[in-house]
Amino acid sequence: MSHVEKYLYGDPEEISTITRIGCELLPPPEKLTTDQQELLASKLENLLQLFHFYLDFPQNYPVHLRYPFIRNFWNEKHVSLSFGESHIEFCDFEEENCPFPGYCKTCQEIAEQIKYDEEIEKRNRGNNLSDEEDLPF
Ligand SMILES: [Zn+2]
């Protein structure tokens, strides 16, 4: 983070501090039923939005499976914004390390885009000399 951002938004704090809900209030997923995890996940996700945190899950990702991610998020330090949206990404755009296999489209699209870009570049490199006459300037 740059100094300017820090000046504008303040220091990162733990989510439990920001929301005033201690991590100890969130039981480990294995102690909860699917229904309980689903209920908690949707409540916590709504709560986080009040604090301007938007967790970027794939749209069709089952709600109860989100609970462990949200629980981990509670220990993380983030800068709390007083306006706007702070989007939290879990997928770091590498298909093989994606936390949402079978659901995530982001890394899939990026992998396809990279492949596509490489194709274009290869083609351009091959055509470079003959293309020169077609340039509009
Ligand atoms: Zn992904």
Residue 82: per-residue pLDDT: 86
From the CA of 66, how far away is ligand 1's center (Å)?
A: 14
Model pLDDT, residue 5? 56
In this prediction the pTM is: 0.78
- Distance (Å) from CA 43 to ligand 1 centroid: 24
Query: How far does the centroid of ligand 1 lie from the alpha carbon of residue 88, in Å?
Result: 13
What's the one-letter identity of residue 22? G
Question: Which among 16, 108, 2, 25 has a CA at the least distance from the CA of 53?
Answer: 16
pLDDT at 95: 87
pLDDT of residue 36: 98
H-state helical runs in 10-105: 15-19, 34-50, 63-73
Per-residue pLDDT, 132: 57
Q: Which two tokens stand for residue 57?
A: 């899950």
21 alpha carbon to ligand 1 midpoint, in Å?
29
Distance 98 CA to ligand 1 centre (A): 4
Q: How far is CA 60 from CA 38, 65, 129, 136, in A?
A: 14, 11, 47, 46
Instruction: Report how far ligand 1's centroid is from the alpha carbon of 3 (Å).
Output: 31
Task: Report the pLDDT value the prediction gives residue 114, as an integer from 0 to 100.
Answer: 92
Centre of ligand 1 to C-alpha 102, Å, is 9
- Delimit the domains of the chain by residue range: 1-90, 91-137
Q: How many angstroms separate the alpha carbon of residue 82 from the centre of ligand 1? A: 29
The Å distance, Cα 116 to ligand 1 centre, comes to 18
Where the chain has pLDDT below 70, the residues are 1-9, 128-137
Q: Which of 113, 109, 66 is nearest to 88 (CA)?
A: 66
Alpha-carbon distance 38 to 27, whole Å? Answer: 13
State the Cα–Cα distance between residues 98 and 69, nearest whole angstrom.
13
**Contact predicate 95/50, CB 8 Å:** no
